[in-house]
Amino acid sequence: QQPKPYLIGYNQDKNTDQTKKLHKDMKKSTEADIAMSKAAVKISGDLLSNPLCEQDQAFLDSMTALDTAMKRMDSFNQEKVNQISKTVIDPLKKYSGVFPSLNMAVKRREQALQDYRRLQSKVEKYEEKEKTGPIMVKLHQAREELRPVREDFEAKNKQLLDEMPKFYHSRIDYFQPSFEALIRAQVVYFTEMHKIFSELTDQIDQAGMTDEQRERENEAKLNELRALSIVADD
């Protein structure tokens, strides 16, 4: 009797690809976060070194407050990224490391199945022939050769049938703490950002103007500059 293949219904290649993609996207996200905060610090530093700061105390005070806020933001952002690396990115990488061993176990089981089928076909071939003395000897030898191969396949197959569902269903339990930690890291970061930028607004937004009012004021100032004779028309 031919062995039943007992095909495992879990697509490990898909799981591997999705885990690797998630790991890659998380790394890209944190790298972008770091680049953003570093760029903000660079901009505030450039503004603080602007010659206008030497000429206008109010502008100097505003740029100093902005620079301090950007550095605080960068510090909290680095803490957030470090936390995400420990609780999300590193666990994803470790989880991906399980797949090579798992895939190897599946391949060993498939090889054992092929050997089993090959020897089983050999036994069936002798069983179909006329029962002469030599044929019966060969049949006995083929059955003896088949027995350990069958046992090996059944052991490997049973191991996968027992352990693969456990592995498959453990994914949520494994990832849940990581994503909870990701949410907490984001909550802490954005709570601090709200504090930082609220304080910054109180320091530099004394006029309390709306964005529309600021836009109109900037346009008016620009029109004054355009009216100067030293400014060429577009």
d(CA 80, CA 97) in angstroms, rounded, equals: 25
Is the pLDDT reported for residue 11 higher than 60? no
Assign residue 212 the CATH number of its domain: 1.20.1270.60
Q: pLDDT band for position 12 (50/70/90)?
A: low
What percent of the chain shows pLDDT beyond 70? 91
Query: Does residue 19 belong to any structural domain of this protein?
Result: yes
Long-range contacts of 43-49 (CB under 8 A, 24+ apart): 43/70, 44/69, 44/70, 44/71
Query: Does residue 232 belong to any structural domain of this protein?
Result: no
* Of 118 and 2, the one with more pLDDT: 118
Query: Does residue 63 belong to any structural domain of this protein?
Result: yes
Query: Does residue 3 belong to any structural domain of this protein?
Result: no
Query: Does residue 6 belong to any structural domain of this protein?
Result: no
Query: Does residue 79 belong to any structural domain of this protein?
Result: yes
The mean per-residue pLDDT over the stretch 153-167 comes to 88
- Note the pLDDT of residue 150: 93
DSSP string, 139-177: HHHHHHHHHHHHHHHHHHHHHHHHHHHHHHHHHHHHHHH
* Of 208 and 60, the one with more pLDDT: 60
Query: Does residue 16 belong to any structural domain of this protein?
Result: yes
Total domain count, the chain: 1
The mean per-residue pLDDT over the stretch 19-31 comes to 92
d(CA 105, CA 96) in angstroms, rounded, equals: 15
Structure pTM? 0.71
Q: pLDDT band for position 13 (50/70/90)?
A: low
Is the pLDDT reported for residue 234 higher than 60? no
d(CA 68, CA 73) in angstroms, rounded, equals: 9
Q: Among 16-30, 132-146, 180-194, 205-219, whose mean pLDDT is lowest?
A: 205-219
Q: Among 18-22, 45-49, 79-83, whose mean pLDDT is lowest?
A: 18-22
**Domain range spanning residue 96?**
12-226
Is the pLDDT reported for residue 38 higher than 70? yes
CB-CB neighbours of 20 under 10 Å: 15
Query: Does residue 1 belong to any structural domain of this protein?
Result: no
CA angle 115, 120, 126 (to 5 degrees): 135
The mean per-residue pLDDT over the stretch 95-102 comes to 81
